[in-house]
Amino acid sequence: MAAKTGKSGSAKTKIKDLKAEIRKLKRKAAKLRKKLKAGAAPAAPDVSPLAPAGGFPPLPSIAGVALSATAAGVRYADRTDVMLARLSPGTSMAGVFTKSATRSAAVLDCEAKIAGLAGKGAGKGGFAILVNSGNSNAFTGAAGAAAVQAVTSGAAKALDVPVRHVFTASTGVIGEPLPVEKVTGAIADLKAGLGAGGLEDAARAIMTTDTYPKGASAELEIGGAPIRIAGIAKGSGMIAPDMATMLVFIFTDAKIEQPVLQSMLSNLTGPTFNAITVDGDTSTSDTLLLAATGKADMAAITSARSAAGRAFAAALRGVMEDLAKQVVRDGEGATKFIEVAVTGATSPTAARKVALAIANSPLVKTAAAGEDPNWGRIVMAVGKSGAPVDRDALTIRLGDILVAEKGWVAESYREADGAAYMQRDEIRIGVDLGLGKAGYTAWTCDLTHQYIAINADYRS
């Protein structure tokens, strides 16, 4: 490096110039960083920033439930993608499924099997649930039904469970044939691996675009006997449940007659899995199964209205709501968890319409992503909902901040307060319609660049 320094004076000048250049470069970098922050899609996080702290929760083993997971290579490399649950004889089984008119072959098969259980008492041969990720086996015509037949009868044979008691669920790409042999070929492995616990492995095996496995549990006592409930879920996009959502499997050792179990599950789906939305799109594969093994030392619950029935339903609802919220927290590209609480509606249906109109509005969700307290977009969403609304009776809150009332911005509202509130990870939009007594709470997430990045390049 040829030094050009002639005398001390010109060195001084040189140093001065270089320092000026450094300042200029630093300004340029700061500008680029600002630009990057403002306009760019951030690199996809490995795990949703909204994932529950502490990772997968410790879940209890459920007596009468054996689980297993393995890698069958359905679509993904180097990860587990099939799970098996075996439920002991005496188990009651309930299920709720997507109402999509193009639901998958597996869903159609599950529906028929749950319908066949009604009023028959606990199954004597026990049950099995076999699930794969990576391929949804939806819109796969006659081949789809044949695949379900092959997979369920393979599991029935291996586990010595009647085929009418074997449920299957598939999640992943729509319209591609399920590689049946990969799934049936994994059954021996899955059977060998069956054991107590294993819920976290099972939760991992059913993930698709999920960034973390989802689990929740509850414990209660009924007549002095400890009862456990534990469940797992998968779901991240195509979330706008029209009954259940995504895949959810819940296990309990409680002793409950099948019709009671089924009615509890159906009723509790409304305020839990049906109250969440990520993108307003409804999966073809939504499957929610609840197995009660009856292993707990208790008298069977024969009515949802009994004290035991009510106590169990409350605990079950807690697990379902927890799992539902975890799905929203893993919403594709989510950076904000948003609760939309509607009160003062003329009917529960009206309250739900308003809550989902807000929760599904791209303009509300992008405003949240931009941390913009743009409450005018909430007004817009309320207006388009189709529910009975009186503009001048409407009250809007962000958290505890009163934003608008009586048809206009509240006198006490300061934009700076709203802006500060919107910087939180968890946002609560409160809308009181001021017309009646009905309410509904929905949960959703924001709509970000990452949602676009994930979905504009998911398959091809």
Rounded to an integer, what distance in angstroms lies between the CA atom of residue 357 and that of residue 348? 14
At 184, list the tokens: 């049936």
The least distance separating a copy of itself from the CB of residue 168, rounded to whole angstroms, comes to 18
Are 73 and 259 a contacting pair, CB within 8 Å?
A: no
H/E element, 315? helix 307-329
- Is the Cβ of residue 80 or residue 274 nearer to a copy of itself in the bound state? 274
- Is the Cβ of residue 303 or residue 374 nearer to a copy of itself in the bound state? 374
Quick count: other Cβ atoms within 10 Å of Cβ 327? 25
- Is the Cβ of residue 100 or residue 263 nearer to a copy of itself in the bound state? 100
Q: Which amino acid is at 148?
A: V
The least distance separating a copy of itself from the CB of residue 402, rounded to whole angstroms, comes to 14
- Is the Cβ of residue 26 or residue 124 nearer to a copy of itself in the bound state? 26
Name every residue whose Cβ is closer than 8 Å to that of residue 167 and which is 6 or more positions away in sequence.
93, 95, 109, 110, 113, 127, 128, 129, 130, 152, 289
Collapsing DSSP to helix, strand or coil, 432 comes out as: strand
- Is the Cβ of residue 144 or residue 259 nearer to a copy of itself in the bound state? 144
Cα angle 80, 278, 414 (rounded to 5 degrees) comes to 135
- Is the Cβ of residue 190 or residue 431 nearer to a copy of itself in the bound state? 431
| 293 included as an active-site residue | no
The least distance separating a copy of itself from the CB of residue 440, rounded to whole angstroms, comes to 17
Paired with 211 in beta bridges are none
- Is the Cβ of residue 103 or residue 182 nearer to a copy of itself in the bound state? 103
207: alpha, beta or left, given left = phi > 0 and alpha = psi -120 to 50?
A: beta
Collapsing DSSP to helix, strand or coil, 301 comes out as: strand
H/E element, 384? helix 375-384
- Of 91, 171, 184, 245, catalytic: 245
The least distance separating a copy of itself from the CB of residue 262, rounded to whole angstroms, comes to 24
The least distance separating a copy of itself from the CB of residue 36, rounded to whole angstroms, comes to 5
Rounded to an integer, what distance in angstroms lies between the CA atom of residue 450 and that of residue 11? 50
Give the sheet arrangement for strand 395-398, strand by strand.
408-409, 401-405, 395-398, 426-432, 337-345, 438-445
At 263, list the tokens: 């009615």
C-alpha closest to that of 281 among 335, 242, 320: 242
Q: Which amino acid is at 32?
A: L
Are 435 and 390 a contacting pair, CB within 8 Å?
A: yes
- Is the Cβ of residue 88 or residue 361 nearer to a copy of itself in the bound state? 361
Are 156 and 109 a contacting pair, CB within 8 Å?
A: no
The least distance separating a copy of itself from the CB of residue 255, rounded to whole angstroms, comes to 37
Rounded to an integer, what distance in angstroms lies between the CA atom of residue 98 and that of residue 107? 8
Angle between helix axes 307-329 and 258-269 (nearest 10 degrees) is: 40
Collapsing DSSP to helix, strand or coil, 389 comes out as: coil
Are 109 and 152 a contacting pair, CB within 8 Å?
A: yes
Active site residues: 245
